[in-house]
Amino acid sequence: MTNSFIAIKGNFFNRADEIFATFKYLDAAQDKQFNNWQEFNNYLYNNYFEFANNDTAIRGIWTDNSWTVINDPEMVDTVDEAALLQLSKLLDTEIITFLIQTTSNSFGFTVYHNTIKRHFFASGGEIIDNLHAPLAQENGLNINADIFADDILNLANRLGIDLEGKNKLTYTVKQLAYSDEMKSELEQFKQQKQETIDDNKPWWKFW
């Protein structure tokens, strides 16, 4: 099980363009809507890699119980600390991210509101980060080295955030083109990666 979510306090669906622009995406105006949670998730996780190969991201987005939630199948935006801090300031609201990766036994969450208010991350049965005061909603959950998917999902539920599709809603998948800025950054990254590979070549492979 691999899931990553960004929950934004408030109904900001009508500002989706601004939200995704913070992550350097441009809305391609190719929305796809689902009324079934499983079909929605299957579409995201079965297709995101193919879209990414064509310089396009797909993200799920919906509103529920005064939260706007983004499903990030690539686990990229969910850990973009600078963009999330910028978005929290832009919208002047709280943002909470959730990470679930059972294969590597990695779980975490972060609370943003102009700054980082709480951050917890554990992987492979070890606590990697445990910063700032615990939330009241953490009480009774395994927010420790024994954390598992249920603890993240239960924490979200206690905060009023449904990450399991329990409510019948309309879920939207947005196609997002990479902005010129992002394309430039990706090209620089590829060049740096290639240079690193070249620098690490054994002497007998230099010709």
- pLDDT tens, 106-139? 999 999 999 999 999 999 999 999 999 999 999 9
- Contact residues for 203 (Cβ-Cβ < 8 A; gap 6+): none
Query: In which domain, by residue range, is 114 found?
Result: 2-179
Query: Is residue 66 situated within a structural domain?
Result: yes
- Please say if the pLDDT value at position 207 is more than 60: no
Q: Which residues pair with 6 in a beta bridge?
A: 70, 97
Query: Is residue 185 situated within a structural domain?
Result: no
Check residue 203 and give its pLDDT: 46
Question: Domain total for the chain?
Answer: 1
Residue that is written with structure tokens 């090209």 in the block: 187
Query: Is residue 189 situated within a structural domain?
Result: no
Query: Is residue 172 situated within a structural domain?
Result: yes
Query: Is residue 8 situated within a structural domain?
Result: yes
Q: pLDDT tens for residues 39-94?
A: 999 999 999 999 999 989 999 999 999 999 999 999 999 999 999 999 999 999 99
Query: Is residue 205 situated within a structural domain?
Result: no
**Mean pLDDT, the chain, integer:** 92
Q: How many CB atoms lie within 10 A of CB 119?
A: 17
